[in-house]
Each structure stands twice: as structure tokens, then as C-alpha cells.
Structure 1
Amino acid sequence: MRRGPGIAAALVVLGAGAVAGGGLWALHRAEAALARRGLHWQGRRVSGAAVTWIEVEGDGVHADRVVGRLLPRPTITLVGVDVDVATLDVAALDVARLGASDSPRPTADGERPAAIPRSVRVEVEDLAVRWGQRVLVDGLAGPLRPTVALSGDGVRIERRDGAWQASLDRAVDLGPLRAQGRLDLRWAGDDLHADFRAQDAVLSHPLLANGPLPPHPLRVTLDHRLDDGTVDLALRLGDVEAVVTGHVDLRSRRADLHVSADAVPLDAVIDLFGRYVPEGDRATCRGTVGLSVDVSGPPLRWEAWPRAEDLTCQGVLGDIDALRSGAVTWKAMGPDGQPTIKRTGPGRPLWTPWPEARRVGEAMMAAEDIRFLEHPGYDLVAIKEVLDEIAGGSDRLRGGSTLTQQLAKNLYLDGERTLARKLRELIYALDLEASLDKRHIMQLYVNIVELGPDIHGVGAAAHTYFARRPGALTDREAAFLAALLPDPRGGYRRAMAGHPPNARIDAILDNMGRAGLRTPEEVARARRDRLLILPPPP
């Protein structure tokens, strides 16, 4: 079944054949030609100088009625027209088929020309255009010939100097985006240009924050060539900019695109989230972030590359001297799942200074953050690895957070799984890295980290699992504690049931060797050691 021009012109030609041709012979010829193009209708009424076709349908086009009249002038009226753009071959659409002709008579080969005689006026009432189930515009009315000038509520479509032009003022509800804005379109030959502007665009998605982000100005511009599929799109939301380049084939619905947000100021990203990142009001943040994504499909394939340059944040931490000493208060999850206040620091039971906790701390670096001693609080390599796992369809997803970011979350934040929380986590992590050295960061981390139900810190964990101080643990025992980190409560239950994560422990020991934290001989010895865990209390 032919799409595009055959069906797009079909409703108009349906009336033109009879109105301009004059007589049943012309009527039957027009209907036969349209049937070959896949158009059908439920009925036809002839009354005087008018012909009405009822419930006319084609591929992507439906009309309640098509009415052709001879008097007072030849006119075709399309009533209740619904066009589904998703099923039309837009790239093949040839508006020239609606061009003028003074010869409605058959050509030498017996076929009537597709063009409409100049004498015939064409108009539409109640035209709706949609993409699948999403209505793009509706309620349009106006002439299609001799000029195109359709209008509706906040919509105007014209054809001028060989180019289609449209303007729409309306609310946009597209995925996470809500906006009241204006869209201007221009389509000339193979060139399509679109420009959308909204003063107060709002993004809302549970992965962004626990509510709608504050409104920001939005502008999107698009240039698309229909012949070769070239796409150039630019987007600006607030002070965050991104560009999309590549190709889109409308016939096959295939795309090959590159998305890039380069050198976006970190404070511009923070501003997008408003009250969901309250630290932005008192933090002084510098540096830029970026992301590049290559997308193709179908089938969908993508790869992303994160970037960051010279990130710093300061001004969000409290008492730096207390943090440096290890004396902190934080909110942790109690054994009943309810938050409880915890305190640790020198002089408190089971507090462990870094020299005594170092063996366990190094195992935790090997398990969770192998580049801890090198990165500035975030690890682009780890983030890239996580993005690759997601792109590959992995069901085993991890957060890519550094130990500094985990410390920031444990000290200052809750378990909310949103981009806003990750951004807050980054702000605190950058300030921790700027205010403390790596030794003090690790000393804080090992003394507050959860390692089982109501077991916080390596002092409590070493006592619970092995009845010893952390400094007396073997490398294998230290690696066991590090292996609990992804799921400390689940790890506790499995260990107490006699199922410690031995494969994970061996992998952590191997990482310690590769990182130069242990010699090959020390790794081999630790792999041979037995792991004896105390049974749970009766």
C-alpha cells in the first residue's frame, strides 16, 4: 500500500474528481484510482450538485466526511480529519501533488492527473494531527487551496513562497517535561527547522528528585534535512546546554546520533535542582562537568563518556577540626529499620584510629574504590564502568561512588536514590577532599561504615565477627569485612548461616595485590588462610 503523497492527496482528489470532472464517469474514475491507493469509505451520498463520502479512511488518514460541491463555486470540504504522522512516510511527502491543473480530463494512458484543477477550492474543518496516541494539534480549520492558512486554538499553519510555516502556542507534556511555550516550524523542500521556547519549563521524574524541579527557561532548536537525514539540535535549560548531531532515517525509523553536553559549570547543574540541593545556597563550587553519548538503533545501542574538570566545592561541612579528629555524630539505620543517632570518636568504645584500622581500610579500598588514593573525591573511570554495564543490559548495577562519596552519604544524607542526592553527595565529597587528607577521610569512613545490623565501624565489626580488635585481624578477615559492604545486613545473615562470600574475599585479596597494597606472597598466604567467624549469640 502506497503511503505519503498518494494518501495525503487522496482525500482532496476524491472530491475534485467529481466536482471538477462533472458526471458519474469522473466520479467512478476518481473512486477507482483512490481505491488502488488504499483509500476506502463506508458510503456515498449524491444530492444535487454535492457529493458526500462518509467515514473515509486510508493509511494514517481518516475523515468523517468529504464533501464536494459545484455551487456557488467548486469546493471540497474535509470534515473531521485525523492524520497520524507516525504512519506517514514524511520523507516522501510531496506537496506538489496538491498543485494546480486546468486539465481534469484523462491523460493519454487513461489515468487522471493527481493534481487538482485551479478552479477548485479546498478547505478543512476540525483537523487533528497526532503521533500515535499523542495529539499534536487539533481543531484546525481553514483553506488548503488556493492558499494554505489553517488556524486553531494557539495554532497557525501556512504555506508561503513554497515553504510550510507553523506556529503553536500551547502546553507541552512530553515525558518528564512540562512547559507552556511557543513552537515555530518552517519546512521548505528537504529542510525542516524548528524552534521551541518556554519561559518556565519544569522537569519531573523520580530519578531526578522527589518532586518537580523548579521552572527554568528552555530553548530547543532543530535543523533536519529530509533527504540525507542530517540532524542538528541544540538545547538550553537554564544555563545548561547540550547538542545533538547525527542522522535520522524517517523511512526506517533508524537513528545514529551523538549527544554532547560539554564544559557545563557545576553550579549551573546545581541551580537546576533548586531546593532539592539545599547545599547549593552555601557552597562555593567551581569546575565543569560534561557527558557525551553515542546512540544508534534500532536495536538500541549506546555508549557514554563522563567528563569533569577542576571540580571543587567548599563551605558545606561543619566543624572541620572535629572531622579531622574523628569525633562525629550521624544518623544511621537501627536494627528495626528506624533511624537512630550514632556517635563515635576518640575515647568512645570501639573507636579505632587509622593506624589500627589500616588493614581493614586497605581491603575496603581494594573492594570499593581501588583508585581512592589518586582521585579527587569522584572517579570518572568507575562512573564509565557503571555506564558501560547499564548500556550492556547488566542486571547487577552499582553506583560508582567513591569511598569519599559513601562517607558523605553516611554522614549527611539518606538513602534516597535520585540524581539530586548524588549531586549533594558530590558536593560533600569535594568539600571533604578539600578539607581533609586521605588518612583522615579513611579514619572517618572505617569508624562509621555499616557492617551488619546495628554494627557500625570496624571496631564493632571485628568484635562481633572475630572477638578481636581490628589491628589483630588477618588479611583474609579484613577482606571479609570489606566484602560485606554492598549488602552488610544480608552479608551478616549469610555469614552467620555458614556461607561467607569466599569468592568475593579472594577477589578483594587479588585486587590488593594488583594495587600494590600486598605482595604476591602475602596474597597467596591470605588466600590459603581459614576464616573462622563467631556464631551468632544465642
Structure 2
Amino acid sequence: DWATTLRVGPLKMDVGVAALVQWGSTPWIARQLHGHTLPTRLGQVRLAWDEASQQLQLHCQPCTLRSSSWGGEPIRLQDARMTVRRNATELRGTLQSGAVTATWHGTLRPTGITLHIAVPSTPVANGYALFASAIPEVATAQIDGTFALKATLELPSKQLRVQPRLDGMAVSGLGTEAWAQAQSQCSRGLPAVMVRAHVRNDSLLAHAVLAAEDQRFYEHPGYDLVEMSKALRSNQAEDATLRGASTLSQQVAKLLVTGGVRSPVRKLRELLYAVEMEQTLGKARILQLYLSHAPWGATVCGAQAAAHTYFGKRADQLTAAQAVWLAAMLHNPALEAQRWKARGNINLERAQWVAAGLRPLRRAERTQLLADLAVMGPTERTASHLAALSKQ
């Protein structure tokens, strides 16, 4: 059965959660709980019983939510309220924080409960307002559009399935139009011919980067809800944040503004910049910004620097296998550089996956590419660079 441990003074006892919920939502017991505060993982929760509606009210202020599926940083809400009304084993109620309200319902079982949660169409700005103290852009950005959400939460396993929807989201006021003239510092120290060279958006490396990092780049508006949902499911299955869902546009925001600390708040900030830059810069410039700023190891950034460091070439001179090799490093550049140093290659399975997504290639070309990847090893230049890294 689904159980939890209750502490009453020095005593501890295991209690079935289903029975506990039934007791707590029974009117004569709920009246006794009125006005009491309980310590929980969310924070201090104050209980109240509303006689008119026959429902239990829970109020958390502030409220902290944690999950390994979205990283180590918690989500903090200044205020969150929940109502619970029970009819036999049927539970239903509302969840509210700020101007965002959801309804929920579920059937209580001895082994757990499945909660069905729905957020109706709500202004995106109202959602961002919940995190205004942690997202400075909320004070200056004009945020339009609506969002809605359907979710299913399994307890006690904490498995969460989410179906988000965004309609008409638009952002202005962040100044991303200035990035049209942004210059990368990643090419400093390279031969002059490489500094002047332009990495074309139709180059093998650009195509390989899209295959590795954002296969729907030319189809989405700066965010990919399908990939976000897949990443959440995958990370929950592993109980860790192993898979991201950032588009190239969101990664540019990370490289230029938000930095590398993994958190839901950082993702929300990146979404604002990504949506705006899709309008102010367009796909071609966003791809250029990524290629010129992307990290390719502890001391390497930018496509030209990566091509020069690892293969002694300009980016436009890379073979298909070399382009795929570099693109396959991007999911974890520092780790792949260390793997290359230790083993003489990077994650071959990852490289093969990137090769499978590389477009456009004829069947014979793809077959040759996969064969080339299988026998690739470090060049003399690569070995020298990786050896230097080990001394730092």
C-alpha cells in the first residue's frame, strides 16, 4: 500500500496515504485541522476548512517544488493554494498561484492516485509573473500569447506526463535586434585566413550541427514543445536530467545571456529571448550566432576554432565524417574532448545517430560516412591539443 511516516512528538508511525487523505477530508476531522500548519517538502502548509463548500484548503507561502527531471534547482512560488473536496474515493479541486488557476481530479486507491490536471487558456504573461522575482526580463518585456496545459501525475511514483500548448506567443523589448551585429571572440588567435572565413549555413558542418542539436530548426518558432515533452519523460525514467530540449535559438540565448546553470527559471528566460530573436534576427542569423559561439571543449569555442583545433582546417574544408564528429561533441563538449583524449575517439553511437539525421545525403554517401566514422581517430593536431588539455 501507499504509505508515509507520521511523527507525533517522539513517536513515528507508518500510515496509509489513502486513509490519511480520507481522514483529512472528512468534515468533522477537517474542522479540527482548521488553522493548523504542517511542515512539508513544499514548505509550511496552512490548513483551513470551508464549511460552505465542504472543502479543505491548503495554503503554501512561499512554496518550493523540486524534481530531478528538470535539474537540481527548485521552482519557488511566492504563494500557492489548493482546494480538496472528496466524494467517497473521488477527489477534485483547484490549484492556484497568482493569476494562474488549474482544476484537478482523481480517484483515490490504496496503492496511489492518478491526478488529472488542466490549465485553461491563460495569458503567457500571467505565467511569467509567477517568477518575476527571479526573471528580470519580466519587468521590461512585452509578452503576448496564451498557454494551456493538460497533465497527469501518478502518485506515489511522481511520474508526470504533460501536454502543453502555446498559442500566438510573441515577445518584444529585450533588444535582441542588436545581436545582428554581434561579433564572436572565439576566433581570436586563429590564422587571419580563418578569422575572415565565413561558415556558410549550407556547409556540411552547419547541416551536421542541425542534425545533432535541432532537427526541426526551420519548422519551430524558437521552441519545440514535442521535444520538451520527450525530454521530460526521458529524464523522469532515468530520475536525472540527462536529456535537454533546447532549440538552437534557446541555446544562443544561453550562450549570450543566461549562462550554464541548469534550472527551470533559466529555461523560461531563454524561451523569451528565443521567441523574440526568431522575429528580430531570423533563422539564418540565429544559426550563424550559434556556429560562431558554440563551445567545443574546455578551451575551444566557435566552428572555425573547432575545425582548426581538431583537424587543422577551415570549417568549409571538413569532410562529412569530420563535420559529424564535431557536431556529435556538442551535447557535452568537455566530456567528449576528454573521452577523445582518453580513448582516441568520441561517442561513436552518438556520431552515428547524427550521421543518420544528416541531410541531404544519398544512400551511398551515408553508407560511406558511417564507414568513415567507424575508423576515425585523432589527427596529429588533435592529439597535440588533447595532450595540452591534460596538462592544464
Q: TM-score range by the shorter chain?
A: 0.7 to 0.9
Higher relative contact order (CA 8 A, sep 6+): 2
Query: Do 1:368 and 1:403's aligned partners in 2 also have CA atoms closer than 8 Å?
Result: yes
Letter in 2 for 1:324: A
Superposition CA RMSD, Å? 3.8
Matched with 1:430 is 275
Shift of 1:461: 0.4
Determine the structure 2 residue equivalent to 1:496: 341
Q: What percent identity do the matched residue pairs reach?
A: 25
CA positional deviation for 1:449: 0.4
Superposition map of 1:416-455 within 5 A? 416-455=261-300
Kept in 2: contact 1:202–1:212 (CA 8 A): no
1:505 aligned to 2:351? yes
Verify the 8 A CA contact 1:167 1:185 in the aligned structure 2.
no
Matched, 1:380 2:225: yes
Q: Which residue of 1 aligns with 2:86?
A: 224
Equivalent residues of 1:372, 1:402 under 8 A apart: yes
Using the size of structure 2 for normalisation, the TM-score is 0.80
Task: Indicate whether 1:522 and 2:355 are aligned.
Answer: no
Whether 2:19 is the aligned partner of 1:86: answer no
Greater Cα shift, 292-301 or 521-530 = 292-301
Please name the residue that 1:168 is paired with: 34
Change over 3 Å in CA distance of 1:270–1:298 after alignment to 2: closer
1:328/1:171 CA distance change after superposition, 3 Å? farther
Of 202, 226, 243, which aligns to 2:103?
243
Aligned equivalents of 1:169 and 1:290: distance in 2?
A: 33
Matched-pair contact (CA < 8 Å) for 2:174–2:273: yes
C-alpha distance after superposition, 1:266-291 (max 9, x if no partner) = 21121111221001111111122333
| 2:326 counterpart residue number | 481
Instruction: Give SS of 1:275's match.
Output: coil
The one-letter amino acid of 2:183's match is A
Letter in 2 for 1:238: G
1:277 equivalent in structure 2:
135
Q: Report the CA distance between 1:242 and its aligned residue.
A: 1.6
Change (3 A) 1:399 1:456: same
Q: Structure 2 CA distance, aligned partners of 1:409 and 1:184?
A: 45
Distance 1:214 1:385 in 2: 25
Residue 202 (1) aligns with residue 75 (2): no
Unmatched runs of 5 consecutive residues or more in structure 2:
1-5, 388-392
SS at match of 2:252: helix
Aligned residue identity for 1:493: Q
Q: Tell me: CA distance 1:367–1:394, structure 2 relative to 1, closer, same or farther (3 Å).
A: farther
The one-letter code matched in structure 2 to 1:245 is H
Query: Partner of 2:174 in structure 1?
Result: 316
> For residues 37 and 194 of structure 2, what CA distance do their matches in structure 1 show?
60
Q: Is the 8 A contact 1:354 1:442 kept in 2?
A: no
CA distance in 1, matches of 2:30, 2:203: 71
Q: Quick one: which amino acid aligns to residue 429 of structure 1?
A: A
Deviation at 1:380, TM superposition (A): 0.9
CA distance in 1, matches of 2:332, 2:356: 21
Residues 210-252 of structure 1: per-residue CA shift (max 9 Å, x gap): 6884634x442221112xx111110111011122112113xx2
Amino acid at match of 1:203: C
For residue 521 of structure 1, report the CA deviation from its aligned partner. 2.9
The 1:459/1:241 distance shift into structure 2, 3 A limit, reads same
Structure 2 SS opposite 1:327: coil
Structure whose alpha-carbon radius of gyration is higher: 1
Give the TM-score of the pair, scaled to structure 1: 0.60
Secondary structure of the structure 1 residue equivalent to 2:246? coil
Q: Distance in 2 between matches of 1:399 and 1:246?
A: 30
How far apart, in 2, do the equivalents of 1:283 and 1:524 lie? 48
1:400 match: secondary structure: coil
Alignment check: 8 A CA contact 1:360 1:478 kept:
yes
> Within 2, Cα distance between the matches of 1:279 and 1:211?
19
Q: Quick one: distance in 1 between partners of 2:233 and 2:96?
A: 27
Query: Do structure 1's residue 407 and structure 2's residue 263 form an aligned pair?
Result: no
What's the secondary structure of 2:200's corresponding residue?
helix
- How far the C-alpha of 1:481 sits from its partner, in A, is 0.5
Structure (1/2) with the larger strand percentage = 1
Report the residue type matching 1:225 in the other structure. Answer: N
Residues 399, 352 of structure 1: alpha-carbon distance in 2 compared, 3 angstrom cutoff: farther
Q: How does 1:284-295 map to 2 (within 5 A)?
A: 284-295=142-153
**Contact 1:206–1:418, Cα closer than 8 Å, also in 2:** no
**Residue type at the aligned position of 2:49:** D
For 1:260 and 1:420, the matched residues in 2 are separated by 22
Matched residues in 1 for 2:112 and 2:82: separation?
22
2: CA distance, partners of 1:158 / 1:303: 32
Task: Report the 3-state secondary structure (helix = DSSP H, G, I; strand = E; otherwise coil) of the residue aligned with 1:204.
Answer: strand
Mapping for residues 42-441 of structure 1, pairs under 5 Å? 86=15, 165-166=31-32, 168-178=34-44, 183-186=48-51, 193-196=55-58, 201-205=61-65, 213=76, 215-216=78-79, 218-226=80-88, 229-249=89-109, 252-296=110-154, 301-318=159-176, 320-321=177-178, 323-328=179-184, 350=195, 352-355=197-200, 358-393=203-238, 397-441=242-286
Q: CA deviation at 1:300?
A: 5.9
Match of residue 3 from structure 2: none
CA contact (8 A) 1:291 1:306 kept: yes
Which residue of structure 2 lines up, in the alignment, with residue 52 of structure 1?
A: none
> What secondary structure does 1:370 align onto?
coil
Distance 1:212 1:374 in 2: 30
User: Residue 121 of structure 1 corresponds to which residue in structure 2?
Assistant: none
Counterpart for residue 536 of structure 1: 384
Distance 1:357 1:397 in 2: 30
What's 1:53 paired with?
none
Does the aligned pair in 2 maintain the 1:313–1:430 contact within 8 Å?
A: yes
CA distance in 1, matches of 2:107, 2:240: 31
